[in-house]
Structure 1
Amino acid sequence: MRIAMVSEHASPLAVLGGVDAGGQNVHVAALAGALADQGHEVTVYTRRDDPDLPERVPMTPGVEVVHVPAGPATAVPKDELLPWVRDLGSWVADDWATHGAPDVVHAHFWMSGLAALQAAAVHGVPTVQTYHALGSVKRRHQGAKDTSPAGRITAEAAIGRRVDAVVATCTDEVRELARLGVPASRVRVVPCGVDVAHFRPVRRAAGPLPRRQPHRLVCLGRLVERKGLDTVLAALVDLPGTELLVAGGPDAAALREDAEATRLTALAARLGVADRVHLLGRVGHDDVPALVSSADLVVATPWYEPFGIVPLEAAACGVPVVGSAVGGLLDSVVDGVTGVLVPPRDPAALAAAVRGLLADPVRRRACGAAARRRALARYSWRCVAAQTERVYRSLTFGARGAARVEEVAV
């Protein structure tokens, strides 16, 4: 099968850790690679954000990344890319005219959906949509801080009604899509995945720093406010003898110039826990399993989370997660079995859950072992790719061409 993916701002070749580089980049790269491993030919279209990037780059055998000239060849925040989405769609359609149309196109993020529908309308290609994040959820939690274009929510609803299938990454997203009026018959749930060979338990791992306290917590992810690190810092006040390592954001040398790192450092000082908090900055992919394995617990307390790959990485390493009972964590963390779920933005509840697990090493080990087994059974990229392939093959070619031509206005 020839598969096209459109991921307008999240290149599978990107360096992770920036504001707009995270789970979607990992998802697109890993899914494309796993589909290629199953014998498919995958082309990923992403926007060129550097004038020196070649047009076409082989990523792995069977996967090619195409840098599309849409908008300025420089980094642009994803919420400011809408004016060039039509150019992206036109270029992809022209590329298919030259190199042949794919059997299916899979759009990642809502603006990619606009471009994919535009190209698919020209060539009659079945279209699959994965949102990765919904504007309605973002607006609910960020309010006036939401920088999304004004028409995002309306466009997402329209995209969901026009594509051939929507791949939701968790059951919570299915409920959100129903509120947007996306027909349930069009929605399939396929989770994000994790590289279970790379993310595995590392025995006697020390991580990047020697342990200075009896217990260690680890947080991973982008340094953005919605990830809820302030909740973890507040909980740390009631967790004596516990240190916190935070991996993510820019390189360590640039942390002093990062606004969120500066805010968190100041907050730790005000709370009196600065001596037990270590901001590591960006940690290399190869070093993450040892960092996670060095922890007693991984803590993930976002305000909201469309899916979240950190709980899967922790599970694959055999480390329990204490996380917010939101979004994808409701699926990826089995409360009381592979970790503990707590209300978001509740430091007292978080501290109580962490304290309970830290005080019971037998329960903690049992949760970690159960998490590893579940990651192997449900979340390997081979399993995720097989489920995604079934969605592709279920589509009736050309059946919804008329609906696909309809304009999606923003």
Structure 2
Amino acid sequence: MSKKLKVVRVVTASYVVPWHLNNTLKRISADFDVCVVGQNVSANQALYPAIQFVDIDINRKYSVFKDFTALISLYRFLRKYQPDVVHSIMPKAGLLTTIAGCLARVPVRIHTFTGQTWATQKGFSKSFFYAIDRFINFLNQRCLTDSLSQSDFLLQHGISYQSQALPVLSKGSLSGVDLSRFNHQDLAPAAEKLRQSLKITKTHIVLSFIARKTRDKGAIDMLHAFARLPNPDHNIKLLFIGPDEDGEIANLRKTKPTLFNDVIEVGHVNNHEVYLAITDVLCLPSHREGFGSIVIDAAAMGVPTVGSRIPGLIDSVSEDETGILYEFGNIPEFVQALELIIADQSLRQTMGLAAKSRVDQYFSADILYAALRDFYITTSATYQK
């Protein structure tokens, strides 16, 4: 029996592990020896006993001193551990891993692009972050994206593999959907308990925003659009879920409290499947997105999505089949889309059924993991000859 390849996955912070690597880590130890590196990632050790975790302070925010310190720590770890493959996600982790992996001479270096910070920026910031993505793509042997439209977008901007669009696993997504976890029938008791605790009845129409509460994720757009919806009987509720990383939502609550009428605020959760079980429509008004994993999580529960028409979301949402897309940043059009789907229960049900069928066909965790496993094996065979 051949020796297992040693794979290192590098992320920024601890929360990335259950959100983006969970399905992979539950399957990967049968095929590879795996270590996950990032800020406070060891907090996840009990969830994945077969995986090794190493804490290195890779902060999402840029700091010359802290980033240099993290780079040195990452380089020293890679030199000692000597992996066959190092694979990063998230922009900061990608940059530091690219440099450390080269210096440590890791045979196979891979990065997955999950949305471009420079896509919505201007001036120096746009040029700077664009240059970083080109640098990452240049120094790694292979790069992936988590959506077909993102690969096309990068190709149009000169980021490619041998002048072709960067590859995507299956039809997209980082790790697919665990269909056993996102199962409406199994979640029914927990969902009913949650309804009662939030004082939501089955007569309410529940919209959910489940993401970091930042401008890039469209949190501000979400509040403004919801406030414009006709809701005289207060039968429409918004579950506003996720961490307020920049404190902007807290400030809005003080300065514009009317934006929060009929809004049920929830912070970071580890059981968003239960919240999706009481959701009628998922809302994702992102300004930029890699793929929109929450969309297929919702779809597995038979929940349609209203989202912005941007690279990434045009892959996770099949427009007018599994959800409705609107022009990015166009609040009136967002409101119009919400009014349409709120008013038509039959439309919600039809789109929800189509969404679930599409997930079963293309986006299950087993399908995505099989594609990742094959990618590691074939890429390693190519570059370790």
Q: What's the TM-score once normalised by structure 1's chain length?
A: 0.77
> Does 1:172 pair with 2:149?
yes
Alpha-carbon offset, residue 400 of structure 1: 9.5
Alignment of 1:2-401 (within 5 A): 2-7=6-11, 9-11=12-14, 14=15, 26-36=19-29, 38-47=30-39, 57=45, 59-68=47-56, 76=59, 78-99=60-81, 101-121=82-102, 122-140=104-122, 151-185=128-162, 187-190=166-169, 191-192=173-174, 193-201=176-184, 202-203=187-188, 205-206=191-192, 207=195, 208-211=197-200, 214-236=204-226, 237-240=228-231, 241-249=235-243, 258-264=247-253, 266-267=255-256, 269=258, 274-282=260-268, 284-286=269-271, 288-395=272-379, 399=383
In structure 1, C-alpha distance between the alignment counterparts of 2:277 and 2:54, rounded to whole Å: 36
Give the deviation of 1:298 after TM superposition: 1.3
Supply the distance in 1 between the matched residues of 2:128 and 2:225 (Cα, whole angstroms): 38
CA distance in 2, matches of 1:114, 1:311: 27
* Secondary structure at 1:189 match in 2: coil
Separation in 2, partners of 1:349, 1:340: 11
Q: More deviation in 390-399 or 307-316?
A: 390-399
What are the superposed Cα offsets for residues 26-76 of structure 1, whole Å, 9 maximum, x if unpaired?
21344333322x432111111459xxx79x956514311111367xxxxx5
Report SS of the residue matched to 1:79.
coil
How far off its partner does 1:105 sit?
1.0
Distance 1:69 1:349 in 2: 42
Structure 1 residues 114 and 281, CA gap change in structure 2 (3 angstroms): closer
Compute the RMSD of aligned alpha carbons. 3.2
| Alignment CA distance shift 1:316-1:114 (3 Å) | same
What percentage of residue pairs aligned between the two structures are identical? 20
Residues 94 and 303 of structure 1: CA distance in aligned 2, closer, same or farther (over 3 Å)? closer
SS at match of 1:32: helix
Measure, in 2, the Cα distance between the counterparts of 1:290 and 1:137: 33
The answer as to whether partners of 1:227 and 1:302 remain within 8 angstroms in 2 is yes
Contact 2:13 2:40 in 1 (8 A): no
- Unpaired runs of 5+ residues, structure 2, are none
CA 1:397/1:155 → structure 2, altered by over 3 Å: closer, same or farther? farther
Offset at residue 295 of structure 1 (A): 2.2
Measure the CA separation in 2 of the matches of 1:247 and 1:312. 17
Q: Secondary structure at the match of 1:188?
A: coil
Q: Deviations over 1:213-233 (max 9, x none)?
A: 742211111121222233333
Q: CA deviation at 1:362?
A: 2.0
2:229 partner amino acid: D
Conserved 8 A contact 2:85-2:380: no
CA change 1:86–1:59 in 2 (3 A) is: farther
Amino acid in structure 2 at the alignment position of 1:223: K
How many residues are paired up? 363
C-alpha separation in 1, matches of 2:64 and 2:152: 26
Deviation at 1:264? 4.9
> What amino acid maps onto 1:175 in structure 2?
D
Q: 1:389 to 1:86 in 2, by over 3 A?
A: farther
The offset of 1:335, in angstroms, is: 1.1
